[in-house]
C-alpha cells in the first residue's frame, strides 16, 4: 500500500523523474506513474513485490502469478480510486449543472465503427481483435462514434437537442515498448442537434467551470480555438473538395511530429498543389480574428462563427481562457467546424482536452445528418497538472464509528450496535476478531473513525456501551438506546 501511496515521497519523485521522459507521451498522472513504473521496471519493483508476496509457509502451491495488471493498464487500489472518484465526481457534477444526461455504451464495439481511412493515429492504434465467433471487434479508442451509434439507435423519437455526457475507459494498442499506456478514461460532453456555435460556447463554459471548481483559472490553462472551416476556405480557393478537409487536417496535425517533406508528400497524394499547401501554412500562422478576417475576406463563415463564439464566451466570463490559434487542427478526421484544445499555459504538457464540431459523423454512418459538437477530456494530464500545482486534495479513508467487543461472547451484540448505526446512516467499521486495544486504536486512526464504541460485559449488563470520542479524547458510558442521539 505504502509504495502505491507514495507519489509525493522522495522515492516516488525519484522514480518519476527517471520515467518522466517515457511517460510524457500519453499519460502523466503521477500517481499512476508509480504503478506504471512498477510495470515497466520488473527487474526493480517486481523483485520487491515477489519478496513480499511469496509464501514462506508450506501452503504455497505454485509460482507467484504476475501481480501487476496487463501491460499498459492500471489498477486503482483504494488510495488511487479515491483520487479518481473525486475527479470523476467533478466531471459528473459539472455535466449535471449544465443539464446534461449521462449514458454509457460497451467498452467493446464493432471494429467498423472506428475504421476511417484518413490515417488518424486513433485508427492505426486500434485495440482490435477477432472474437470467437469470427467478428472483428475493438476495445473503443474514443467515445464519440459510440455516442453517434446510440443516437442513431434512438431513432426519430429522440427529442433534440440531446445533451449527453459519459465517462468511459478508452483503449489503444501499440507495439512499442516505450512505456506508453494502453488505456485511459475520458469525460465526454456532446450536444446533438444545435447548429450554431452557442453549442461550442456551452461546452467550453462547462470545461471552464470544471477547471475553476478544481482551483484553476485562465492563468493555468489556455484553450486554443480554430475552425476546420479555415482550412476549408483555403482548399476551396484552390479547387480542392470540401471532403478533403478531414484528411488534410489529420496530416497537418502531424506537422509537429513528422518531417515537413513527409507532410507535403502526403498532401500531394491528396491532390493538393504547392500553392494550396503554402496557403495552408500561411493560414496556420494566424493568431487574431482581424488577421483571419483579412485572410478569408469579409463575410467568411469561419471568421464570423469564431467572432460569435468569442462574443458569447464574454458572456460566460470565460473569454480569458480562449486564444485563436489556427495551427490547432486536432487529429480526428470527423471535425467539420470549430475545433479547440486545452493546454497548460506553461506549455509543459500534452493536450488536456480537445473537441469541436462534427456535423457529418451521423450521415457518414448512414443516418440523418445532425449538427453535433463535443469534447473529450482525459483523466491523466489533468491530474499531472493538479499535482504540479498542489491542487490534489487529501482524500483519506473515512468512517464515523469503529465498533469492537471486549469479549467474543458479545459479538452478536456488537453486530446489533453496528447495524443500528448503519441503518441510521453512519459509516461503521466493525472489528471482526479479538484484537488488542493498541491494534484497535491504530485501526481507528487508519479508518479516520470519530468514535470508538466498545461493547464490554459489565457495561452491556447495564444496557450501556463505552463510547470514546477520539478527537476530544473523552469517554463515557452511553445507553444503547441513546447511542444514536449521542453523536
If the CB atoms of residues 3 and 281 are measured against a second copy, the closer one turns out to be 3
Minimum CB–partner distance for residue 37 and a second copy (Å): 13
Q: In whole angstroms, what is the distance from residue 68 CA to residue 102 CA?
A: 32
If the CB atoms of residues 17 and 471 are measured against a second copy, the closer one turns out to be 471
Minimum CB–partner distance for residue 477 and a second copy (Å): 20
Minimum CB–partner distance for residue 227 and a second copy (Å): 18
If the CB atoms of residues 191 and 277 are measured against a second copy, the closer one turns out to be 191
Minimum CB–partner distance for residue 321 and a second copy (Å): 13
Cis amide bond preceding 161, omega within 30:
yes
- Over its C-alpha atoms, the chain yields an Rg (Å, rounded) of 28
Minimum CB–partner distance for residue 204 and a second copy (Å): 10
If the CB atoms of residues 99 and 390 are measured against a second copy, the closer one turns out to be 99
If the CB atoms of residues 260 and 424 are measured against a second copy, the closer one turns out to be 424
Which set of grid coordinates corresponds to residue 76? 486503482
What are the CA-CA distances from residue 159 to residues 48, 144, 187, 192, 333 (Å)?
Answer: 56, 19, 23, 10, 27
Q: In whole angstroms, what is the distance from residue 184 CA to residue 182 CA?
A: 7
If the CB atoms of residues 43 and 261 are measured against a second copy, the closer one turns out to be 43
Minimum CB–partner distance for residue 343 and a second copy (Å): 22
Q: In whole angstroms, what is the distance from residue 240 CA to residue 107 CA?
A: 37
If the CB atoms of residues 183 and 253 are measured against a second copy, the closer one turns out to be 183
Q: C-alpha dihedral over 232, 238, 243, 246, to 10 degrees? A: -50
CB atoms within 10 A of CB 179: 19
The answer to whether residues 88 and 81 touch, using CB atoms and an 8 Å cutoff, is no
Minimum CB–partner distance for residue 74 and a second copy (Å): 7
The answer to whether residues 210 and 311 touch, using CB atoms and an 8 Å cutoff, is no
In the 8-state DSSP scheme, what is residue 155?
G
If the CB atoms of residues 70 and 258 are measured against a second copy, the closer one turns out to be 70
CB atoms within 10 A of CB 425: 8
Give residue 284's Cα distance to chain centre. Answer: 29
Q: In whole angstroms, what is the distance from residue 376 CA to residue 382 CA?
A: 12
Contacts for 355 with CB less than 8 Å, ≥ 6 apart: 203, 330, 339, 340, 373, 374, 375, 376
If the CB atoms of residues 71 and 262 are measured against a second copy, the closer one turns out to be 71
Minimum CB–partner distance for residue 424 and a second copy (Å): 10
CB atoms within 10 A of CB 299: 8
Minimum CB–partner distance for residue 367 and a second copy (Å): 5
Amino acid at each position: 500500500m505504502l509504495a502505491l501511496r507514495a507519489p509525493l515521497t522522495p522515492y516516488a519523485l525519484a522514480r518519476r523523474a527517471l520515467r518522466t521522459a517515457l511517460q510524457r507521451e500519453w499519460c502523466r498522472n503521477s500517481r499512476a506513474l508509480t504503478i506504471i513504473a512498477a510495470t515497466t521496471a520488473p527487474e526493480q519493483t517486481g523483485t520487491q513485490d515477489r519478496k513480499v508476496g511469496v509464501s514462506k509457509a508450506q501452503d504455497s502451491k505454485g509460482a507467484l502469478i504476475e501481480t501487476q495488471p496487463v501491460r499498459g493498464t492500471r489498477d486503482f487500489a483504494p488510495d488511487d480510486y479515491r483520487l479518481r472518484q473525486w475527479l470523476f465526481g467533478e466531471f459528473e457534477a459539472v455535466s449535471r449543472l449544465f443539464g446534461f444526461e449521462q449514458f454509457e455504451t460497451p467498452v467493446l464495439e464493432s471494429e467498423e465503427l472506428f475504421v476511417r481511412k484518413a490515417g488518424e493515429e486513433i485508427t492505426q492504434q486500434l485495440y482490435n481483435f477477432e472474437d470467437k465467433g469470427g467478428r472483428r471487434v475493438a476495445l473503443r479508442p474514443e467515445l464519440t462514434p459510440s455516442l453517434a451509434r446510440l443516437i442513431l439507435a434512438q431513432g426519430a423519437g429522440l427529442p433534440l437537442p440531446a445533451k449527453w455526457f459519459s465517462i468511459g475507459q478508452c483503449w489503444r494498442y501499440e507495439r512499442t515498448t516505450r512505456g506508453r499506456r494502453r488505456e485511459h478514461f475520458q469525460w465526454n460532453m456532446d450536444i446533438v442537434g444545435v447548429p450554431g456555435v452557442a453549442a461550442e460556447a456551452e461546452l467550453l463554459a462547462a470545461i471552464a467551470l470544471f477547471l475553476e471548481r478544481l482551483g484553476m483559472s485562465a492563468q493555468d490553462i489556455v484553450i486554443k480555438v480554430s475552425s476546420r472551416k479555415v482550412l476549408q476556405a483555403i482548399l476551396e480557393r484552390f479547387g480542392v473538395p470540401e471532403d478533403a478537409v478531414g484528411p488534410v487536417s489529420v496530416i497537418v496535425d502531424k506537422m509537429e511530429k513528422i518531417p515537413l517533406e513527409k507532410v507535403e508528400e502526403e498532401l500531394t497524394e491528396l491532390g493538393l498543389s504547392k500553392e494550396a499547401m503554402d496557403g495552408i501554412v500561411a493560414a496556420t500562422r494566424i493568431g487574431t480574428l482581424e488577421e483571419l478576417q483579412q485572410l478569408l475576406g469579409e463575410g467568411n463563415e469561419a471568421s464570423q462563427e469564431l467572432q460569435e463564439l468569442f462574443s458569447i464566451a464574454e458572456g460566460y466570463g470565460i473569454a480569458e481562457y480562449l486564444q485563436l490559434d489556427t495551427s490547432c487542427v486536432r487529429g480526428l478526421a470527423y471535425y467539420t467546424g470549430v475545433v479547440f484544445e486545452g493546454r497548460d499555459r506553461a506549455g509543459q504538457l500534452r493536450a488536456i482536452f480537445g473537441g469541436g464540431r462534427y456535423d457529418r459523423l451521423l450521415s457518414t454512418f448512414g443516418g440523418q445528418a445532425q449538427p453535433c459538437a463535443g469534447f473529450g477530456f482525459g483523466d491523466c494530464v489533468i491530474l499531472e497538472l493538479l499535482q504540479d500545482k498542489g491542487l490534489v486534495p487529501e482524500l483519506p479513508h473515512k468512517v464515523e464509528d469503529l465498533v469492537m467487543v471486549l469479549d467474543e461472547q458479545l459479538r452478536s451484540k456488537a453486530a446489533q450496535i453496528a447495524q443500528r448505526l448503519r441503518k441510521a446512516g453512519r459509516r461503521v467499521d466493525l472489528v471482526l476478531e479479538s484484537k488488542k486495544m493498541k491494534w484497535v486504536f491504530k485501526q481507528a486512526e487508519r479508518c479516520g473513525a470519530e468514535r470508538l464504541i466498545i461493547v464490554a460485559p459489565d457495561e452491556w449488563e447495564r444496557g450501556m456501551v463505552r463510547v470514546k470520542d477520539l478527537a476530544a479524547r473523552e469517554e463515557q458510558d452511553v445507553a444503547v438506546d441513546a447511542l444514536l442521539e449521542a453523536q
